Every structure is written in C-alpha cells, then in structure tokens.
Structure 1
Amino acid sequence: MLALALSIFLLLGAKGSKGADDNEIYDPCVTVGQLKMKDAISIGVGMVNGISYWYKNSDANLNLLSPCSAQLAAQLPQAARVSVFRPVIEQIGQFEIENSSYVGLRHNFTGDASLIVFSGSNPTVLSTPRYFLYSDGRVPELTLNIHFEAGKLAYFIWKEDDCATCYAKNQLCRAGSCVTRETDCQNSDTTNSTITDYNCRLAVCIPPPLSSILFVSLIPSNHLSPVFLLLS
C-alpha cells in the first residue's frame, strides 16, 4: 500500500485491449512479476515543491527516497500530490494532465516543482526527479523511457532534450527542457502565435514499446477505496 497520505488523481480513459491484460496488481507500490506485451503496469507519479524532498536531505548526490516508503511520506508537505497511470506495454502514446487539474497544480505549488516516477517495492524502481513547473514557466513535455529485462520492469530514464526547438517558440530552456513562459499561458491575447493550449500543460511521452494515453482529473482522496481506483 502506498505510504503517501496525499490527494490522489483518478485516471480516466486508457481504453485498451480489454480482457488481454493479466496483471491484476493496481497498486504502484507492489512489485509485479514477468509481464507480456498486452499487460499493463501501474506506475506512480509523485509531485512536490522543490526537489530536495526526494533525497535524504538537500544533497542531490545522496540516494533517492522511494515515494512508497514511510520515511519519505513523513517528510513530504501537505501540498504534495501523487497520481497513478497504467500504460499498456505494446501501445504508443502519452499521458497528460487536463486543463482543470493543471490549473489546480499551478495554484497548489509555489515556485519550482518537481516530479518523480516510481513502481514496485524492495526496491522501488525510481526515475530521477525532473522539474515540471518553474516560478516563471511550465514544462509542456517530458519523454520517459521505460525499460524491461526478461519481462520485468528494470529502470526509468528521462530522454534529455537539447532545447533545440525552444527558441523558435520563444520558450525558455531550463535543465535541458523547454519551458513555456507563464505570461504566455496566462494571457489569452498573447501575440506569440506559436503558443497553444498544449504548450501550457504537462504531457509525459512514452516511446515504444510501452505507453498509454491517460487523462488525469483531481478528485478528493476520500472518494477512493484504500487501494488505487482505476476506471477501465
């Protein structure tokens, strides 16, 4: 069971090859065994102000703490958020946060905010933290590579962006990611014609062989059962 006592996101959509998924483990903090191509896997995304909460202290060279651990849960602030998505291994796509939920995140986090991707336990497979919000802008897209070895989840790794496309869109470059200026997102009368709705909310792209399209809505945590509730 996930140790984070936080508000939780409910997953909507993700219609797939119904009946072909034999993975009945929905909790992202439970390790699953060998998977086949038509199976789905539950993957958690934790979000928090700053980045130091993911480490034992502010030293980013120390080991990452698992969002499934009581040690990390005890030190996270009330503003922290967690969502779960369930990609199907053989499909291609992304998950994104819909507008209403993203507005809530923008108001929930002050200054810079980071996310971490996780799944399993003993040990939990973790990505490195990545910033997705800055005080003056938003990261519209991150690319996550998910690797399996002999059908078992092995590791997550972010695809590094060289910011080659940022400047043509009048975007900032921060930590290797393009960042849409907050003023462009808040001003509907912006003269920057390259800015669209999709430049102002987060999408995490998952290259083959594993992905799914999921739209995420924020709901009160007391509307969920003790395990993560996923609609199909």
Structure 2
Amino acid sequence: MKLGKTTKCERESHKQTLTHPFPPSPSFPLFSFSLHSSQTHISKMQTLTLLVVVALTIAGGFSRAAVAGNTNSVYSPCSDTRIQRSDGFTFGIAFSSRASFFLNQTVLLSPCDRRLTLAAMNSQLSVFRPKIDEISLLSINTSSFFPDNYGGYMVAFAGRKYAARSPPAFIANSTYTVTSFTLVMEFQKGRLQNLFWKRDGCASCKGNSNFVCLNKQDCAIRTPSCKGRGGTVDCSLGIQLAFSGTDKHLAVLNSWYEVENMKQYSLYGLYSNLKSSLTSQFNNFF
C-alpha cells in the first residue's frame, strides 16, 4: 500500500430537473472556492476554506490505465457531465439543518434547486474535485467552522438535469460530533446516479471510551471535547470517498469494493496522521 501525493486543485439518480443552478466557475484556486453574490441563490451561501484532497492509492488494486488524463472540463457542481477513469469530478457538500434540504418537509431536493431557501438560511457550501476511482480523504479544517452552528447536517450533491444528492447526514449538535464519514458515488455509463453514506455500525470505535455510538451506526465525540469548544480533540471533518458503477466507456469503477474488502473503518487510522498533517499545514499556510 502506498500513499499518493497531495493533489492540487485542477484549473482547467435521483433524476430531477433543476430550475436554476449556478453557472460553471472557470477555476478553483488552491485551498478554496469562492462564489459571487451575483450568481444564483446558492452562491449567497458562505463558503468554507478547504484543505487539499489527499488520495490513497492501493497499489495493484485498480486496473485503470495509468496514462489516462483528465477529460472532464465541467467545474460547477450544478452542471451535468459524463466521466471516465482518472477524470477530475466536481461535487458540492452543503451544510444546513435537516429540514432545509426538503421541499414542504417531504421531497428531498438538490441544493442547486432554487426552490430550496438555503441562501436565506444559515448555510455553508464546500466544493471538491477528487479524481475518479481513487480512494480519497476530503478534509475540512474545523478550527473556526463548527457544523452545529450551521444546522448540523450535510448533503452531497452534483448535477443539473441528472441531479443526484445524498440523504442528509448528521454531523454535530451541542452534545455530539461525528468526524468520519464514507461517501460512495455511484455512476452508470459515466453519469452520476446516486450518492450515499456508508456506515460501519460503530465498528471503528468499538471498545473506545472516547467515542459514543449514535443510533448504532455513527461513532461520535462529545462536542465539548473538541478544540474550540473547550476540549483538545481535533474534530476536523473527514470524508472518505470511493466510487462504484461504470464510466462512460463501461469500465468498472472499483474503489468502493477495495474499501469494502479492506474493512473501511481500518483506513481511518491510516488517515488520522494525514489529517493532522494537513491541519497543521493549513494553519501555517493561513
């Protein structure tokens, strides 16, 4: 097993028709993504400062062609695209209250849909561009961002006509904070069809008195134990990302099966040092 190098941001289903997604942004500067208030409702949401994506590559685990390059020139999380292996893929994660992601408290919509009123709420947005079919850790420094101050839930999303969105996932309230998640992106013929959160049933924290098992599925830290909340624990949000399905050439995306075979929770120990390192680099950089 070997660690891939930290990547630089590239410059270059739930099928649901959206009424007003924001237009593509031409570039993503390193560490951050900005939206201007002159765009659509979602652009008014405050944006988070992001840590760079760290990719973990399982040596020999994937059959992708190593020489393949990026062919995806779509950079907006609210635009449609079809991907192949090794492409960059842009998606967003919105942070808000659980109810804010539903229309009339019944229909879950994409955060790109202007029928949601996220812009008028206490919401935030992150945008990531990982490489297709690489196991990646997405990390957000939480030294100044506390998810419970923004509703405590998150939804991952991408696409316009083919709008895919994950179910809302609980992150934090004033009592508990969940710091580790696994997000799987499912593609069919290169088109994103679904995003879903995979739980390990608290297997990753079994027997660890520092964690609490919430609803028999998520390992949580007591929020008062987190840095900035009176404690000393780094509660930075980490999302392990993997892929399944097929790309536009019908090549199978294998990274989720690699994670599953390795017992997904075992990777968090490996990632923990990377998270600490990235957090330190981030604080020094800014």
TM > 0.5: yes
Consecutive unaligned residues in structure 2, runs of 5 or more: 1-21, 23-39, 56-65, 244-253, 257-273
Counterpart residue type for residue 133 of structure 2: E
* Deviation of 1:126 (Å): 0.6
* Deviation of 1:19 (Å): 8.9
Mapping of 1:9-48 within 5 angstroms? 9-11=48-50, 13-14=52-53, 20-33=69-82, 35-48=83-96
Work out whether 1:6 is the aligned partner of 2:28. no
Work out whether 1:166 is the aligned partner of 2:213. no
Counterpart residue type for residue 163 of structure 1: C
* Deviation of 1:210 (Å): 5.8
Counterpart residue type for residue 43 of structure 1: F
Cα distance in 1, alignment partners of residues 152 and 54 from structure 2: 30
Cα distance in 2, alignment partners of residues 75 and 115 from structure 1: 12
Counterpart residue type for residue 188 of structure 2: E
Q: Is the CA contact (8 Å cut-off) linking 2:51 and 2:139 kept in structure 1?
A: no
Q: 1:127 to 1:145 in 2, by over 3 A?
A: same
How many residues are matched? 197
Work out whether 1:89 is the aligned partner of 2:135. no
Larger relative contact order (CA 8 Å, sep ≥ 6): 1
Consecutive unaligned residues in structure 1, runs of 5 or more: 189-195, 218-232
Tell me the secondary structure at the aligned position of residue 206 of structure 1: strand
Aligned to 1:113: 152
TM-score by length of 2: 0.61
Q: Is the CA contact (8 Å cut-off) linking 2:133 and 2:242 kept in structure 1?
A: no
Cα distance in 2, alignment partners of residues 163 and 151 from structure 1: 32
Greater strand fraction, Structure 1 or Structure 2:
1
Cα distance in 2, alignment partners of residues 82 and 40 from structure 1: 19
TM-score by length of 1: 0.74
Task: Give CA-to-partner distance per residue, 1:77-134, whole Å, 9 cap, x none.
Answer: 4420001001101322210112xxx132217716x51000000012410100001112
Aligned to 1:177: 218
RMSD: 3.0
Aligned to 1:104: 144
Counterpart residue type for residue 104 of structure 1: S
* Deviation of 1:136 (Å): 1.0
* Deviation of 1:36 (Å): 1.1
Percent identical across equivalent pairs? 24
Task: Give CA-to-partner distance per residue, 1:32-68, whole Å, 9 cap, x none.
Answer: 12x11010110100001x311111134xxx2212111
